[in-house]
C-alpha cells in the first residue's frame, strides 16, 4: 500500500502489525497474496482498492491513510489566525526591534513615553498587515468552500448506483461518473467512456492554459465499450506511483485476480481541474484526491523574492542602527558628564527607598536604554508598510497599461510577484528562448524535399509575403483550392446515422471556471459561437502547392492506374516515395479531426463518398505489383513490444479488407490487451452506421478523367485539425493541400483520402509519441492493401539522418541512389536551416509480422513495468526506429513576432546584454538572430562546436587572445553593464566590428564539466550577442545561474514553454509568455506577457519608473527619519541628556504615522521623472537604473548628511529666536515641529517631477491635518502630559507674528543648499536623465528634433541601411577576403554581390537550380564526394571535430581555398556578411 504522506511507511507497518484486525473477506484473494509476498515497495508505490461491495472492508482500511478530496488553501483558522499571523510578522527584524522597545518602555527606570503610547506605532503596523492577510485568507476560504461544495456523481455501494456527492466527500478508490462539460473533481484513472473507441476528450485550459483538446484513452483491457461499466465487477487492484507534481508523468498497472498485469500511463489519467469535452459519459476510479492531485501539487501561488533595493535597504538599516548606537552612546556619556559637574546631588535625582543613589555606570546604562526608546524612529518602521502600498500601486498601474494588453488573446500583463517591480529597472542580462518567444510559434509550411528533389513552393511564398491575418470566409478558402488536386464528386446520402453518437461541442467559454460550476449534460448542438481551434489561423491552414510537386503526385497516381506495362524500378521508387511522404505527413501525428460546423465534434467515420475513380480492387492489384518491383523496401528486425501482439494475430486471420471496409470497423480495442473474443463484436451495429462495400458504386473513370474534370458542385467537408503542437498542424495542412486529406482518427484507425478520392483506412498498431530525448515520433500501421506493417517516423534531422539504413548494405545501384538521396537531402536541410526554417525529416520502415510480434511482446512488458518503466519504453522505441528509409524533409517557417527586432535593438541600446538559449538547430537559431537584429550584418561571429575539453579550452584561449590583441580599445577601467571591470576589459570596440558567439549544447557540457566557466564568461564580456543552441532545459538554467552568481548581475529570463521553467525560476526576474505552448512558463514566472515586444515598455518605461520612484522614496524615508530624530538629539545638549523631549509624544507619533506618510507613498506610485515617450525614444536612459544611480551608498550618505544639516537649521534658528525668553518646553517645541513638517514636505516637493491633483491634495491636506489636529488637541488636552501640558499652545503660536516669520525663513535656509544643487547641477555636467527631463519640457516637434540630434551624435555616423532577410537569403555569391582582425581565423565578406543585378524571380530560379543539383554544388559536405575547408556553416562528418588543427596550414592557403572553393558555400541562404571560424 503506497501512502501519500510522510508517515506512510510507519502507518502501513502499524496496519500490518494489527494482523488480527484485518478481517479478510472471502472475495479478496489478492489482499492475502499481496501480504504474503510482500512484493510492494511501500516507499515508492500507491495501492488503490476499489470502493465496492466485494472489496469494501479492504478499501476502508487503506483509504483512511490517503488524503481526502477537500482542499484548504487558507493559511489560518479562526483560532490560529491571531497567534500565527503575529508569529509570521515578528519574523521581520524591524518588528522585533520595536517590540523590544515596547517592552523596554514598560520599565520605570527607562520610561520615556506613556507605556500605551509606545505600543501605538507597532500596533498600527501589525494591524494593517493583519487586516491585509485576513482579507486575502477570507477570499481563499470562500473559494475553497465553493470548490469543495461542487457536485459530482460517485458510486455508492449501498445503493448500487451513482449518487450526487460534494467534491470534498470523494475518496481515493471511489468510482466517479463524469458527463460532458463537467470539471474533473480529482485525478481519475479512466475505465470507461461512452465513446465507441474508448476515448475521452479533455480541455486542460484550467491546468496549463491550452485550449486544444487532449485525448485520454481507457485503460487497455477495459476498452470493451459494448456493455455498461459495472463497478461491482471490478475486482482489480491498482498499483501506481506516489503523488508528484509532474503533469506529464504517470505510470502504474492494474493487477487482476489472476495476477495478470495491465500497464497504463498518463494517457489514461484524467487530471483534476480539466473539463470533459465531446464525451457523453466517462467513468473512472479516483487515484489521487485533494492536495495530492497533480494540479494542487503544482499550485504554489505567487513566489516571494527579495528585490535588489530591499537587500540594499537592509544594509542601510544596519547603518542606521550603528548611527543610533552612536547617538545613544553620546547621550549616555553626556548624561554622566553632566551629572559629574554637580558638586552635590541634583534635586531631580530621587534616591531609592533605602536612600541610595544610582551609580554613574548604571545611570549611564539606563540613559543608554532611554535614548534608544527616545530615538527609536531613526529605524523607519513605517517604511515597510509604505513599500507594500507602493508596490501594490505600481502593480496596479502596470496591469492597467493598455499598451501591455493583447487584444487578440484578450490578455493583459499579469504581475504574479508583487515585490520585485523595481528590479525591472535594473536588468543587465536577458536570457530568452527562441521558439514562441521571439517567434510566433505559428508554423507555416514553406518548402520540402522528396526523394532528393527540392520543391521551393514559390507560389506559397508569394502568398505569405502579401498575407495578412484576417478572418477567412468560404471565398477566401476557395481562392486557393484551384491549386489542389480535384476531388471526386461526392453524393450526399439520404441518411447517415451513427449508433450511440450525438453531436456535441464545447461550451462557449474557452476557459471553464471552478466557481459555481454545475453538472451540465450535453444538450446537443449549441448556438454558441464557434470556438477557435488552436494552430488554425489562415496563415497556417492555407498552403499553395508547388506545381512541380503537384505534377509528381499526379504522375504517381497515374502510374498506379497504368497497367499496360510493368513500371520500372526507378519510377516505382519515385512514385512510392512521393505517396509515402504525404501519407507520413497525414498519418504520423496525434491530430484530432473535427468538422467546421462542429469544431469540437471528433470525426470517427469519414463522410460517405461516391468516388468516380478506379476501383479499389484495381488499386490493390497495382500496389501489389509495385511492391514486387520495388527493391530495398523490406527490412528485418532482429529483436523487438505494446500490447498489440494480439491485434496482429487477429488481423492476420482476416482477409485483407478493401479501403472502404477498413474504416467501417468499430473499435478494435478488444484485441489489444483483453481476452475478449471476436464474437463479442456487434456487427449489426455497423451496418446502420456505414453501408458496406457492395453498397458503394464505383465508377470506371480513369485517373486522367478524374484529374481533368472538376465538379462544380462537389461536396467537400471542411475539417478542423486540432493538434497538440503547431508543427503537426502545419504538416497535416500541407498534406491536405496535395489532396492527402486526413479524414478521421481513432485510437485504432486513421483514414486518409487519396488524391483520386479513394479512402485508405490504416490500422494503428502502435504510436510512439514525441519526446525531447528521442526527438522524433513514430506510428506503426498496417497498410490496408499490401497488408504490410509500416513504421512512419518524423523527427529532427540530426537524429533521423543517423538512423538511416547503411547504403553499403544494399546492392550497388540502390546504394548509389540512397547515397545521392541522403547527400542531396542533407544539402537541402542545410539550406533550410540557413534560411531560418525549422527542419523535419520523414522516413519509413517495413516490418515483417514476426519481427513486429517480437517487438510488441517487449513493448507490452515495458508498459506493465513499474521500476525503470521509462527506460524500458525508451529502449523499445529506439530498437524499433533503426534502419529507416529516407522519404524526404520539410522546412517550416516560424515567423518572427511583430516588433521583435525593434525591441531587441532598443534593449541593446539600453545596455542590456541579450542571450538566446534555444534547443533549436544552430543554423536556424543564427538566422533568426540576424532577422531579429540580435546579430548584425557587420558582426564577427565565433562559433565553438566541440566535444573535447582540450580543444574547447584551446579555442577559448585563442579567441580571447585574438580579441584582446586585435580589438582597438582603450585599456581603461570602466563599468560593463553596471559591473566594475579591470583594465584588461576593452572600454570600446570601435572601429573593429562587434562580436557574436555561438555555442551548442555539447560545448556547454564541456564548459561546465571541464571547469571552463571563467574563460567562457570572460569571452562573453567582449560579445554583444550570445547564442546557445541545442541547449537542454537544465543547461539553460545552469547558464543563467552561472552568469548571475559569477558576474553579480541582475538577470531576466523569458520563455513560453515548459522547457523554459527552470530558466525562468533561476533568474532574478522571470517572465512567461502566454503563447501556444501552454501556461507552464506563466505559472512559474513573476510577470506574464503575451508578446515579446511588450518587454520593451515593461523594462524601459515601467522598470525605470518603478526603480526611480521606489529608490527615491526609500532615500526620502531615511532622510525624513534622521532629520526628525536629530531634532530630539540636539535638544539633549540643552536638557542635561535627561532623555526628555520638547515635542508632545502624540505629535511625534502622528508626525510619521499620518502627517508625512501619504505624500511619499503617492510619490512612489505616481511620480514620473521622464515621460514614457522620451524613455522609449532614448533607451540609454535605462542605464541609470542598471548602475543604481538613484539609490547607492553615496546617495544614502548625502541624504543623511543633508538631514543632519536641515535638522541643525530647524533646531537652532528657533532656538536663537526664543533664546533668553520665558518660553516653556512645548512652546519651544511646537515651532520646531511645525518647521520640520514644512521642511520635510517641501523637500518632497523638490523631488517630485510630476504634479497631479492627488499630489496637491495630499501635500496641502497633510499641512491642514497637522494644524487641525494640533489645534483641537491643544484645546482639549488640559492634563495630558503632566507636569507640562500642551494646552492652548498652538492657539498661542498662531497669534504670534514671530511664529510665522520663523516658519517661513527656516525651511528656506534649510532647503537652500539642496535647491542650489538642483539648480546648478546641469551647468557643469549634464547627466542623460537631466537632459531628458529638459527635453520633456519642450514642445513635441522640437523635442522630437532634439531627440533625433541626440541619437545622431550618439551613433557618430549615419545609420547604414539594413538588407532585408529575404534579400540576404537570395544572395548566392560574394567576394571574400581574410580579415586582419583575426588573421587566419576570420572570414569577412567584402565588396558587392555578384548577383545584385538579378531580379527576384531570377534569384529564386537560381537558388532552386542550385538546390536541386542542376548546377555546380555550392555546399559540399565532408560526408560527400569532396572535402571542404573548415568553416562553421558546413556540417561536420560524424565523429569528426568541427575544427581540425591541420586543416589550414597558413593564412595564404586558407584565403585561396576560400576564394576558389568555398566563396559560394558561405553565403547562399545566409544572412551573414561576416563569418568567422577559429582554427588551432
pLDDT (0 to 100) of residue 538:
64
pLDDT (0 to 100) of residue 458:
79
Instruction: Please tell me the least confidently modeled range out of 555-569, 959-973, 996-1010, 1111-1125.
Output: 555-569
- Nearest to residue 489, comparing CAs of 594, 398, 670, 612? 612
Residue 928: alpha-carbon gap to chain centroid: 20
pLDDT greater than 50 at residue 568:
no
Distances (CA, A) of 1452 to 838, 1386, 1456: 37, 13, 6
In the structure, what pLDDT confidence band is assigned to residue 678 with cuts at 50, 70 and 90?
very low
pLDDT (0 to 100) of residue 618:
54
Q: In degrees, to the nearest 5, what angle opens at C-alpha 922 toward C-alphas 1098 and 1424?
A: 165
Residue with the bigger pLDDT between 147 and 662: it is: 147
The predicted model gives 345-360 an average pLDDT of 77
pLDDT (0 to 100) of residue 271:
92
The predicted model gives 675-684 an average pLDDT of 35
Rounded Cα–Cα distance for residues 926 and 1304 (Å):
66
pLDDT tens sequence across 1242-1283 = 999 999 998 999 999 999 999 999 999 999 999 988 777 666
pLDDT (0 to 100) of residue 1278:
75
Residue with the bigger pLDDT between 1040 and 728: it is: 1040
In the structure, what pLDDT confidence band is assigned to residue 27 with cuts at 50, 70 and 90?
very low
Instruction: Please tell me the least confidently modeled range out of 321-335, 463-477, 1278-1292.
Output: 463-477
- Nearest to residue 911, comparing CAs of 1322, 430, 1440, 534? 430
Rounded Cα–Cα distance for residues 847 and 791 (Å):
7
The predicted model gives 1415-1422 an average pLDDT of 35
Report residue 1187: phi and psi, to 5°: -85, 5
Residue with the bigger pLDDT between 408 and 369: it is: 369
pLDDT greater than 60 at residue 709:
no
Q: In degrees, to the nearest 5, what angle opens at C-alpha 607 toward C-alphas 605 and 611?
A: 125
Positions of E strands within 597-754: 719-722, 741-745, 749-753
The DSSP secondary-structure symbol of 56 reads H
Query: How many Cβ atoms from other residues are within 10 Å of residue 1060's Cβ?
Result: 33
The predicted model gives 1117-1136 an average pLDDT of 94
pLDDT (0 to 100) of residue 1210:
96
Is 1153 buried (19+), middle (13-18) or exposed (0-12) by CB count in 10 A? Answer: middle
Q: Are strands 913-917 and 429-432 parallel, antiparallel or unpaired?
A: parallel
Per-residue H/E/C for 338-385: HHHCCCCCCCCCCCCCCCCCCCHHHHHHHHHHHHHHHCHHHCCHHHHH
The DSSP secondary-structure symbol of 1141 reads -
Top-ranked range on mean pLDDT: pick from 414-418, 922-926, 995-999: 995-999
Instruction: Please tell me the least confidently modeled range out of 166-180, 886-900, 1204-1218.
Output: 886-900
Report CA torsion sign: 210, 211, 215, 218: positive
Compute the mean pLDDT over every residue in the chain, rounded to the nearest whole number.
74
pLDDT greater than 70 at residue 465:
no
- Nearest to residue 378, comparing CAs of 1129, 1110, 1004? 1129
Residues paired with residue 725 on neighbouring β-strands, in sequence order? none
pLDDT (0 to 100) of residue 1371:
34
pLDDT (0 to 100) of residue 1363:
35
Instruction: Concatenate the DSSP letters of all residues of 182-247 into one string.
Output: PBP-SEEEEEEESSTTSEEEEE-HHHH---SEEEEEPPTT---TTS---GGG---EEEEEPP-S-T
pLDDT (0 to 100) of residue 498:
35
Residues paired with residue 825 on neighbouring β-strands, in sequence order? none
The predicted model gives 845-861 an average pLDDT of 91
Instruction: Please tell me the least confidently modeled range out of 99-108, 699-708, 722-731, 1016-1025.
Output: 699-708
Is 863 in a helix, a strand, or coil? Answer: helix
In the structure, what pLDDT confidence band is assigned to residue 683 with cuts at 50, 70 and 90?
very low
pLDDT greater than 70 at residue 1235:
yes
Asked if 777 and 628 touch (Cβ cutoff 8 Å), the reply is: no
Rounded Cα–Cα distance for residues 976 and 1022 (Å):
10
The predicted model gives 323-337 an average pLDDT of 92
pLDDT tens sequence across 530-546 = 344 555 566 667 788 88
pLDDT (0 to 100) of residue 1297:
92
The predicted model gives 1433-1437 an average pLDDT of 36
pLDDT (0 to 100) of residue 864:
80
Rounded Cα–Cα distance for residues 1446 and 1373 (Å):
27
pLDDT (0 to 100) of residue 36:
38
Asked if 999 and 973 touch (Cβ cutoff 8 Å), the reply is: no
pLDDT (0 to 100) of residue 707:
41
pLDDT tens sequence across 1367-1385 = 333 333 333 233 333 333 3
Top-ranked range on mean pLDDT: pick from 25-34, 433-442, 520-529, 680-689: 433-442
Rounded Cα–Cα distance for residues 224 and 536 (Å):
34
1460 CB-side CA count, 13 A: 8
Residue with the bigger pLDDT between 969 and 360: it is: 360
H-helix or E-strand containing 112? none
Distances (CA, A) of 330 to 1139, 1205, 1475: 12, 19, 69
Q: What's the longest Cα–Cα distance across the chain? A: 137
In the structure, what pLDDT confidence band is assigned to residue 1217 with cuts at 50, 70 and 90?
very high
Spatial neighbors of 1322 by CB under 8 A, at least 6 apart, are 1330, 1331, 1334
Residue 1083: alpha-carbon gap to chain centroid: 8
In the structure, what pLDDT confidence band is assigned to residue 963 with cuts at 50, 70 and 90?
confident
- Nearest to residue 443, comparing CAs of 248, 686, 728, 242? 728
In the structure, what pLDDT confidence band is assigned to residue 762 with cuts at 50, 70 and 90?
very high
Asked if 1267 and 1238 touch (Cβ cutoff 8 Å), the reply is: no
pLDDT (0 to 100) of residue 135:
87
The DSSP secondary-structure symbol of 259 reads -
Distances (CA, A) of 1180 to 733, 1093, 1176: 45, 17, 9
In the structure, what pLDDT confidence band is assigned to residue 1051 with cuts at 50, 70 and 90?
very high
In the structure, what pLDDT confidence band is assigned to residue 203 with cuts at 50, 70 and 90?
confident
In the structure, what pLDDT confidence band is assigned to residue 747 with cuts at 50, 70 and 90?
confident
pLDDT tens sequence across 996-1013 = 899 988 899 999 988 899
Burial string for 385-395 (b: 16+ CB within 10 Å, else e) reads bbbbbbbbbbb
In the structure, what pLDDT confidence band is assigned to residue 594 with cuts at 50, 70 and 90?
confident
pLDDT (0 to 100) of residue 728:
84
Query: How many Cβ atoms from other residues are within 10 Å of residue 1327's Cβ?
Result: 13
pLDDT (0 to 100) of residue 680:
35
pLDDT (0 to 100) of residue 117:
72
Cis omega (within 30 of 0) on the bond before 1283? yes
Per-residue H/E/C for 1296-1356: CHHHHHHHHHHHHHHHHHHHHHHHHHHHHCCCHHHHHHHHHCCCHHHHHHHHHHHHHHHHC
The predicted model gives 57-64 an average pLDDT of 77
Rounded Cα–Cα distance for residues 799 and 882 (Å):
11
- Any catalytic annotation for residue 433? yes
Cis omega (within 30 of 0) on the bond before 991? yes
What percentage of the chain has pLDDT greater than the value 90? 31
pLDDT (0 to 100) of residue 1154:
87
pLDDT greater than 60 at residue 1117:
yes
- Nearest to residue 290, comparing CAs of 144, 163, 180, 178? 144
pLDDT greater than 50 at residue 1365:
no
Instruction: Please tell me the least confidently modeled range out of 238-242, 266-270, 1029-1033.
Output: 1029-1033
In the structure, what pLDDT confidence band is assigned to residue 1237 with cuts at 50, 70 and 90?
very high
Report residue 1117: phi and psi, to 5°: -65, -45
Q: H-type helices in 1132-1182, by residue range?
A: 1145-1150, 1158-1166, 1172-1177
Residue 614: alpha-carbon gap to chain centroid: 52
Spatial neighbors of 601 by CB under 8 A, at least 6 apart, are 278, 503, 504, 505, 594, 595
Please tell me which residue in 208, 433, 546, 1060 is annotated as part of the active site: 433
pLDDT (0 to 100) of residue 229:
85
Is 750 in a helix, a strand, or coil? Answer: strand
Instruction: Concatenate the DSSP letters of all residues of 1378-1443 into one string.
Output: E-TTSGGGEEEE-S--TTTTS-HHHHHHHHHHHHTTSS--SS--TTSSS-----SSSPPPTT--SS
pLDDT greater than 50 at residue 974:
no
Is 1266 in a helix, a strand, or coil? Answer: helix
Rounded Cα–Cα distance for residues 860 and 876 (Å):
10
The predicted model gives 86-96 an average pLDDT of 81
Amino acid at each position: 500500500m503506497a501512502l501519500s504522506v510522510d508517515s506512510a511507511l510507519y502507518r502501513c507497518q502499524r496496519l500490518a502489525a494489527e494482523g488480527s484486525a484485518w478481517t479478510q473477506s472471502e472475495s479478496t484473494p489478492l489482499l492475502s497474496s499481496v501480504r504474503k509476498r510482500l512484493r510492494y515497495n511501500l516507499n515508492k508505490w500507491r495501492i488503490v482498492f476499489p470502493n465496492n461491495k466485494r472489496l469494501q472492508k479492504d478499501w476502508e482500511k487503506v483509504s483512511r491513510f490517503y488524503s481526502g478530496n477537500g482542499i484548504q488553501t487558507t493559511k489560518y483558522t479562526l483560532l490560529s489566525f491571531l497567534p500565527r499571523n503575529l508569529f509570521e510578522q515578528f519574523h521581520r527584524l524591524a518588528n522585533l526591534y520595536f517590540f523590544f522597545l515596547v517592552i523596554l518602555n514598560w520599565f520605570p527606570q527607562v520610561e520615556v513615553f506613556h507605556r500605551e503610547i509606545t505600543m501605538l506605532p507597532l500596533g498600527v503596523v501589525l494591524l494593517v498587515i493583519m487586516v491585509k492577510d485576513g482579507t486575502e485568507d477570507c477570499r481563499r476560504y470562500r473559494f475553497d468552500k465553493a470548490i469543495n461544495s461542487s457536485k459530482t456523481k460517485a458510486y455508492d455501494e449501498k445503493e448500487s448506483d451513482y449518487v450526487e456527492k460534494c467534491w470534498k466527500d470523494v475518496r481515493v478508490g471511489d468510482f466517479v461518473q463524469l458527463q460532458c462539460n463537467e470539471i474533473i473533481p480529482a485525478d481519475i484513472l479512466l475505465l470507461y467512456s461512452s465513446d465507441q473507441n474508448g476515448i475521452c476528450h479533455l480541455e486542460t485550459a484550467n491546468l496549463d492554459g491550452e485550449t486544444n483538446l487532449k485525448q485520454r484513452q481507457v485503460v487497455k483491457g477495459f476498452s470493451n465499450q459494448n456493455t455498461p461499466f459495472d463497478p461491482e465487477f471490478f475486482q482489480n487492484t491498482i498499483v501506481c506511483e506516489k503523488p508528484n507534481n509532474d503533469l506529464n508523468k504517470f505510470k502504474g498497472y492494474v493487477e487482476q485476480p489472476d495476477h495478470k498485469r495491465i500497464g497504463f500511463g498518463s494517457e489514461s489519467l484524467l487530471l483534476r481541474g480539466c473539463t470533459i469535452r465531446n464525451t457523453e459519459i466517462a467513468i473512472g476510479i479516483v487515484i489521487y484526491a485533494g492536495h495530492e492531485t497533480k494540479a494542487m501539487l503544482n499550485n504554489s501561488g505567487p513566489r516571494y523574492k527579495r528585490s535588489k533595493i530591499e537587500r540594499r535597504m537592509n544594509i542601510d538599516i544596519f547603518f542606521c542602527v550603528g548611527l543610533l548606537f552612536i547617538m545613544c552612546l553620546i547621550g549616555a556619556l553626556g548624561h554622566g558628564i553632566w551629572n559629574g559637574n554637580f558638586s552635590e546631588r541634583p534635586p531631580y535625582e530621587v534616591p531609592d527607598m533605602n536612600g541610595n543613589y544610582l551609580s554613574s555606570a548604571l545611570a549611564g546604562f539606563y540613559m543608554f536604554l532611554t535614548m534608544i526608546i527616545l530615538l527609536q524612529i531613526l529605524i523607519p518602521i513605517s517604511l515597510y508598510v509604505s513599500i507594500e502600498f507602493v508596490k501594490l500601486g505600481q502593480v496596479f498601474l502596470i496591469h492597467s497599461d493598455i499598451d501591455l494588453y493583447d487584444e487578440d488573446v484578450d490578455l493583459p500583463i499579469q504581475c504574479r510577484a508583487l515585490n520585485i517591480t523595481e528590479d525591472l529597472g535594473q536588468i543587465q542580462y536577458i536570457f530568452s528562448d527562441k521558439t514562441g518567444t521571439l517567434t510566433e510559434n505559428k508554423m507555416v509550411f514553406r518548402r520540402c524535399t522528396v526523394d532528393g528533389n527540392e520543391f521551393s513552393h514559390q507560389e506559397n511564398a508569394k502568398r505569405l509575403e502579401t498575407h495578412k491575418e484576417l478572418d477567412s470566409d468560404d471565398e477566401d478558402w476557395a481562392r486557393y483550392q484551384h491549386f489542389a488536386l480535384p476531388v471526386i464528386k461526392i453524393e450526399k446520402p439520404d441518411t447517415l446515422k451513427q449508433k450511440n453518437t450525438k453531436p456535441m461541442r464545447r461550451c462557449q467559454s474557452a476557459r471553464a471556471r471552478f466557481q459555481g460550476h454545475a453538472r451540465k449534460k450535453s444538450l446537443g448542438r449549441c448556438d454558441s459561437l464557434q470556438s477557435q481551434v488552436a494552430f488554425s489561423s489562415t496563415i497556417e491552414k492555407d498552403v499553395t502547392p508547388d506545381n512541380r510537386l503537384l505534377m509528381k503526385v499526379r504522375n504517381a497516381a497515374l502510374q498506379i492506374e497504368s497497367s499496360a506495362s510493368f513500371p520500372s524500378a526507378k519510377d516505382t521508387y519515385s512514385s512510392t516515395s512521393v505517396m509515402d511522404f504525404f501519407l507520413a505527413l497525414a498519418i504520423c501525428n496525434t491530430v484530432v479531426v473535427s468538422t467546421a460546423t462542429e469544431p469540437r465534434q471528433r470525426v470517427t467515420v469519414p463522410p460517405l463518398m461516391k468516388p468516380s475513380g478506379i476501383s479499389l480492387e484495381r488499386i490493390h492489384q497495382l500496389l501489389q505489383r509495385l511492391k514486387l518491383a520495388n527493391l530495398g523496401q523490406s527490412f528485418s528486425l532482429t529483436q523487438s513490444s505494446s500490447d498489440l501482439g494480439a491485434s496482429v494475430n487477429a488481423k492476420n486471420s482476416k482477409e485483407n479488407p478493401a479501403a472502404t471496409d477498413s474504416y467501417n470497423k468499430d473499435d478494435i480495442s478488444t484485441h489489444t490487451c483483453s481476452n475478449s473474443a471476436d464474437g463479442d463484436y456487434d456487427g449489426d451495429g455497423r451496418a446502420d452506421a456505414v453501408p458496406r462495400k457492395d453498397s458503394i458504386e464505383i465508377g470506371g473513370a480513369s485517373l486522367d478523367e478524374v484529374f481533368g474534370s472538376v465538379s462544380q458542385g462537389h461536396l467537400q467537408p471542411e475539417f478542423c485539425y486540432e493538434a497538440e503542437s503547431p508543427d503537426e498542424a502545419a504538416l497535416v495542412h500541407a498534406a491536405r493541400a496535395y489532396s492527402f486529406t486526413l479524414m478521421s482518427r481513432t485510437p485504432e484507425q486513421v483514414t486518409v483520402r487519396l488524391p483520386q478520392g479513394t479512402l485508405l483506412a490504416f490500422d494503428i498498431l502502435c504510436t510512439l509519441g514525441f519526446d525531447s530525448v528521442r526527438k522524433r515520433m513514430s506510428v506503426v500501421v498496417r497498410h490496408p492493401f499490401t497488408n504490410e506493417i509500416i513504421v512512419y517516423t518524423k523527427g529532427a534531422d540530426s537524429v533521423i539522418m543517423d538512423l538511416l539504413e547503411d547504403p553499403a548494405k544494399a546492392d550497388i545501384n540502390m546504394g548509389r541512389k540512397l547515397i545521392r538521396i541522403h547527400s542531396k537531402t542533407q544539402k537541402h536541410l542545410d539550406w533550410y536551416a540557413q534560411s531560418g526554417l525549422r527542419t523535419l525529416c520523414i522516413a519509413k520502415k517495413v516490418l515483417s509480422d514476426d519481427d513486429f510480434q517480437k517487438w510488441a511482446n517487449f513493448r507490452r512488458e515495458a508498459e506493465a513495468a513499474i521500476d525503470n518503466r521509462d527506460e524500458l519504453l525508451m529502449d523499445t522505441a529506439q530498437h524499433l526506429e533503426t534502419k529507416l528509409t529516407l522519404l524526404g524533409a520539410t522546412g517550416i517557417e516560424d515567423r518572427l513576432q511583430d516588433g521583435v527586432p525593434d525591441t531587441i535593438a532598443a534593449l541593446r541600446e539600453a545596455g542590456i546584454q541579450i542571450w538566446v538559449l534555444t534547443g533549436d538547430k544552430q543554423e536556424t537559431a543564427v538566422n533568426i538572430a540576424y532577422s531579429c537584429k540580435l546579430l548584425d550584418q557587420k558582426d564577427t561571429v565565433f562559433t565553438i562546436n566541440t566535444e573535447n575539453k582540450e580543444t574547447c579550452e584551446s579555442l577559448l584561449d585563442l579567441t580571447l587572445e585574438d580579441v584582446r590583441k586585435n580589438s582597438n580599445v582603450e585599456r581603461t577601467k570602466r563599468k560593463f553593464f553596471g559591473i566594475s571591470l579591470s583594465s584588461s576589459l576593452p572600454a570600446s570596440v570601435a572601429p573593429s566590428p562587434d562580436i557574436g558567439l555561438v555555442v551548442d549544447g555539447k560545448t556547454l557540457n564541456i564548459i561546465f564539466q571541464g571547469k571552463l566557466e571563467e574563460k567562457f564568461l570572460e569571452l562573453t564580456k567582449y560579445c554583444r550577442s550570445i547564442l546557445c543552441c541545442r541547449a537542454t532545459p537544465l543547461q539553460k538554467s545552469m547558464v543563467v545561474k552561472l552568469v548571475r552568481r559569477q558576474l553579480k548581475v541582475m538577470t531576466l529570463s523569458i520563455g513560453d514553454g515548459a522547457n523554459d521553467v527552470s530558466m525562468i525560476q533561476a533568474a532574478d526576474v522571470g517572465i512567461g509568455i502566454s503563447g501556444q505552448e501552454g501556461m507552464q512558463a506563466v505559472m512559474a514566472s513573476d510577470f506574464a506577457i503575451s508578446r515579446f515586444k511588450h518587454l520593451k515598455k515593461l523594462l524601459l518605461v515601467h522598470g525605470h519608473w518603478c526603480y526611480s520612484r521606489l529608490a527615491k522614496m526609500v532615500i526620502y524615508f531615511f532622510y525624513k527619519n534622521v532629520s526628525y530624530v536629530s531634532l530630539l538629539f540636539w535638544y539633549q545638549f540643552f536638557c542635561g541628556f535627561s532623555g526628555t523631549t520638547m515635542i508632545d509624544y502624540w505629535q511625534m507619533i502622528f508626525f510619521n504615522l499620518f502627517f508625512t506618510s501619504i505624500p511619499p507613498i503617492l510619490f512612489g506610485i505616481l511620480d514620473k521623472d521622464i515621460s514614457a515617450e522620451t524613455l522609449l525614444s532614448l533607451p540609454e536612459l535605462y542605464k541609470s537604473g542598471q548602475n543604481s544611480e538613484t539609490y547607492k551608498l553615496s546617495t544614502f550618505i548625502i541624504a543623511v548628511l543633508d538631514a543632519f544639516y536641515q535638522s541643525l537649521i530647524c533646531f537652532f534658528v528657533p532656538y536663537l529666536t526664543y533664546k533668553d525668553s520665558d518660553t516653556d518646553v512645548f512652546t519651544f517645541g511646537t515651532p520646531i515641529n511645525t518647521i520640520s513638517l514644512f521642511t520635510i514636505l517641501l523637500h518632497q516637493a523638490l523631488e517630485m517631477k510630476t504634479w497631479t491633483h492627488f499630489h496637491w491634495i495630499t501635500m496641502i491636506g497633510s499641512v491642514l491635518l497637522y494644524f487641525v489636529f494640533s489645534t483641537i488637541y491643544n484645546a482639549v488636552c488640559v492634563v495630558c502630559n503632566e507636569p507640562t501640558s500642551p494646552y492652548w499652545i498652538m492657539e498661542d503660536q498662531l497669534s504670534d507674528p514671530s511664529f510665522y516669520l520663523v516658519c517661513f525663513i527656516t525651511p528656506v535656509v534649510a532647503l537652500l543648499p539642496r535647491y542650489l544643487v538642483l539648480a546648478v547641477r546641469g551647468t557643469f555636467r549634464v547627466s542623460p536623465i537631466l537632459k531628458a527631463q529638459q527635453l520633456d519640457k519642450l514642445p513635441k516637434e522640437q523635442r522630437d528634433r532634439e531627440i533625433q540630434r541626440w541619437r545622431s551624435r550618439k551613433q557618430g555616423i549615419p545609420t547604414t541601411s539594413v538588407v532585408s532577410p529575404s534579400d540576404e537569403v537570395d544572395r548566392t555569391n560574394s567576394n571574400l577576403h581574410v580579415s586582419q582582425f583575426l588573421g587566419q581565423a576570420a572570414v569577412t565578406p567584402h565588396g558587392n554581390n555578384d548577383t545584385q543585378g538579378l531580379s527576384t524571380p531570377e534569384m529564386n530560379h537560381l537558388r532552386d537550380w542550385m538546390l536541386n543539383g542542376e548546377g555546380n554544388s555550392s555546399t559540399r559536405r565532408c560526408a560527400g564526394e569532396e572535402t571542404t575547408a573548415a568553416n562553421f556553416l558546413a556540417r561536420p562528418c560524424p565523429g569528426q571535430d568541427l575544427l581540425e588543427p591541420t586543416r589550414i596550414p597558413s593564412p595564404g592557403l586558407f584565403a585561396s581555398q576560400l576564394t576558389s572553393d568555398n566563396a559560394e558555400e558561405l553565403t547562399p541562404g545566409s544572412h551573414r556578411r561576416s563569418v568567422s571560424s577559429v582554427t588551432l
